[in-house]
Amino acid sequence: MCGIVGAIRLADAEVVRRMTRLIAHRGPDDEGFWSDGDVVFGHRRLSILDLSPAGHQPMQSADGELTIVFNGEIYDFPQVRAELERLGHRFRTHTDTEVILLGYRQWGDAVLERIEGIFAFGLWDAAAGRLLLARDRSGVKPLYWHARDGGIAFASELKPFRLLPGFVSEVNRRALRSTMRFACNLEEESMLAGVHKLAPGRKLVWQDGRIAVSPYWSYPEPRPRAWGAEDAARTLREVLGRTVRAQMISDAPLGAALSGGLDSSGVVALMAEHGAKVRTYTVGHGQDDPDLQAARVVAEHCRTEHHEIMIQSEDVLDLLPKVMWFLEEPLGQMEAVQMYLNYAAASQHVKVLLVGEGADELFAGYDRYRLFDAKRRLTPGLRSALYERVYMYADRQPRHLLGAAISRLAFGRLAGSPMADPMPRAAEPPLAGLPRERALERALNHDQRGYLHELSLKRADATGMAHGLELRVPFLGKDVVELAATFPGDLIRRGGVEKWLLREALRPLLPQRIVERRKRGFQMQLDQRLVDTLLELCDRLLPPDRVAQRGFFDPARVAALRAGRPRKSAAFIAHRVWSFRLWAMLMAEIWARLFLDAPPGAPAPAGLEDIA
């Protein structure tokens, strides 16, 4: 796993060198640069496959016509390599990077349809004067781009763009609205105005100053089949097993994140089933933490080499600016701090970590999916209104009269956005236009196409790569995703049990108490210490004069949120939404201090004092 940077007409070699070194954490093992006229590439390497100097990048074809900077892993590269060798191609390395180079020579852009993995790359075709950018199907690896005056620049992170000559750091308010509503930025443009995100499963072609973006893959539309439960569970277990085995390919030490939940426990069990001695890593909030205890059960069952990392609420204060420096966009959920600490500890032992991200979006793991249970006989309008209210905490009560009444009765008063202009909504409602039939399957598909990579995968990649740690996501393997699209909703979720089918698939591999354990969520414990920490941060970072000067939020709304903690008797979701609103405001202000106020190229802050 690596960090990549490139520019055509927008930066010289020295600027690209500075841009590349700003993301050195993504590739601590090696760096490389290449230039040809107006085209400049930079690369930071994290050595996973072929640890020899032969894997150095930027990498060129033997004739020098093709040059690539690549970030990721191609899991099926041995098979693709064998096919290319049968077609007469000769390899000089044992890397998956060279497979993309020679695959492009053989098939052009269609090489993207043949490779399976997690990746982002830039490939320069000198003969055609053509740049190809591409991102993996699920968006596990990030790729950003910026274009002006006929030129283009790309990078694995946002920070490098601020070093481009003439680049002006400004907030994209549409992205800010999205972040404050959905806990992540669902817009095509990043929080830095003018910097775009290449969407998952997309390619970008630059040629003669013209840019064309197009898909080469999309999450499959739901196409349920008449599965029997046992057949479906067995097939899912087999496909997951093959995918985990393929993703265990590595010439560097490998482990797994273990939260004690079904998803990560299943990944660990499948790794152990293949005979591997698995290293596992768990974050806990004290010895009585249920997640910690469940993880111990799985670790003992699978005979892993287990490591535990404890977190305290006090850790948040000094860690938050540094975590934001790596996240690069505000995320409205607190789990990023836990993940950062977990991956910091894991990186002391391994370079590769398998994680359980994606299972909730494929197999209906979130509480909001309960609204699709058959026993809840809701009209499409009422279901849509209630779903939108709990979908990352909508900014206002539903317009649907009955939906508004039920929402108020069930959830109470939920804290609103601190923005003076939270509308128009940053994205269309999650169930807009969905038919009565197959609504759950389509809601899952909606989350797979947006929420998954903009929040869950972004958070995981950023906090992992902060420590030079590659994260692999077996649940988002192409075969698993395409298989999941064939399962009907009443099999994915049955009898009010989330991820029912996944539980049945993993039942032969895990202790019963883990299979039956209901989803708890990987989240910071909202105890009094954490509340006090949030309030202290509000007082330090969001005084009224600073809020007014920044212009992100309405000072009166910020003050009302600061003082508006729900009563102890309020519904859990009311406490959760209130903490989310405070957290999102704080993250946005910290982001502004790092990405608008701080000089371009500034290093990661050591603590809160560095940005105060």
Q: What are the pLDDT digits (tens) for 357-406?
A: 999 999 999 988 998 888 888 888 888 888 888 776 667 777 788 888 88
User: In the predicted model, is pLDDT for residue 424 greater than 50?
Assistant: no
Model confidence band, residue 551 (pLDDT cutoffs 50, 70, 90): very high
Better-predicted residue by pLDDT, 242 or 284:
242
- In this prediction, residues 551-557 reach a mean pLDDT of 94
d(CA 355, CA 371): 28
On average, the pLDDT of the chain sits at 90
User: In the predicted model, is pLDDT for residue 418 greater than 70?
Assistant: yes
pLDDT at 383: 84
Model confidence band, residue 74 (pLDDT cutoffs 50, 70, 90): very high
Q: Which of 434, 435, 427 is nearest to 395 (CA)?
A: 427
pLDDT at 130: 98
pLDDT at 597: 97
CATH 3.40.50.620 residue window(s) in the chain: 229-363+439-515
d(CA 431, CA 382): 11
Model confidence band, residue 48 (pLDDT cutoffs 50, 70, 90): low
Between the alpha carbon of residue 31 and those of residues 129, 134, 449, the distances in Å are: 25, 21, 33
pLDDT at 576: 85
In the chain, count of helices (H) and strands (E)? 23, 17
- In this prediction, residues 406-420 reach a mean pLDDT of 84
User: In the predicted model, is pLDDT for residue 521 greater than 60?
Assistant: no
The correct CATH number of 2-158+195-215 out of 3.60.20.10, 3.30.230.10, 3.60.15.10, 3.50.30.30 is 3.60.20.10
**Crossing angle between the packed helical segments 572-592 and 315-327, to the nearest 10 degrees:** 60
User: In the predicted model, is pLDDT for residue 68 greater than 50?
Assistant: yes
User: In the predicted model, is pLDDT for residue 601 greater than 70?
Assistant: yes
Burial pattern 113-125, b for ≥16 Cβ within 10 A else e, equals ebbbbbbbbbbbb
- In this prediction, residues 571-593 reach a mean pLDDT of 90
* Lowest pLDDT segment from 54-58, 457-461, 584-588: 54-58
pLDDT at 407: 84
d(CA 270, CA 287): 27
CATH 3.60.20.10 residue window(s) in the chain: 2-158+195-215
Residues 6+ apart with CB under 8 A from 569: none
Q: Which fold is adopted by the domain 229-363+439-515?
A: Rossmann fold (3.40.50)
Model confidence band, residue 261 (pLDDT cutoffs 50, 70, 90): very high
Better-predicted residue by pLDDT, 40 or 518:
40
d(CA 137, CA 358): 13
* Contact call for residues 42 and 69 (beta carbons, < 8 A): yes
Residues 6+ apart with CB under 8 A from 262: 356, 359, 499, 502, 503, 506, 510, 514, 515, 517, 519
- In this prediction, residues 161-184 reach a mean pLDDT of 93
* Lowest pLDDT segment from 108-122, 153-167, 350-364, 420-434: 420-434
Task: With 0.85 as the threshold, say if the pTM is over it.
Answer: yes
User: In the predicted model, is pLDDT for residue 1 greater than 70?
Assistant: no
Which residue in the block uniquely carries the two structure tokens 């500034």? Answer: 602
Model confidence band, residue 427 (pLDDT cutoffs 50, 70, 90): low
User: In the predicted model, is pLDDT for residue 408 greater than 50?
Assistant: yes
Model confidence band, residue 423 (pLDDT cutoffs 50, 70, 90): low
User: In the predicted model, is pLDDT for residue 141 greater than 60?
Assistant: yes
pLDDT at 80: 97
Max CA distance (Å), the chain: 71
User: In the predicted model, is pLDDT for residue 117 greater than 80?
Assistant: yes
pLDDT at 522: 42
Half-sphere exposure of 354 (CA within 13 A, CB side): 33
- In this prediction, residues 324-338 reach a mean pLDDT of 90
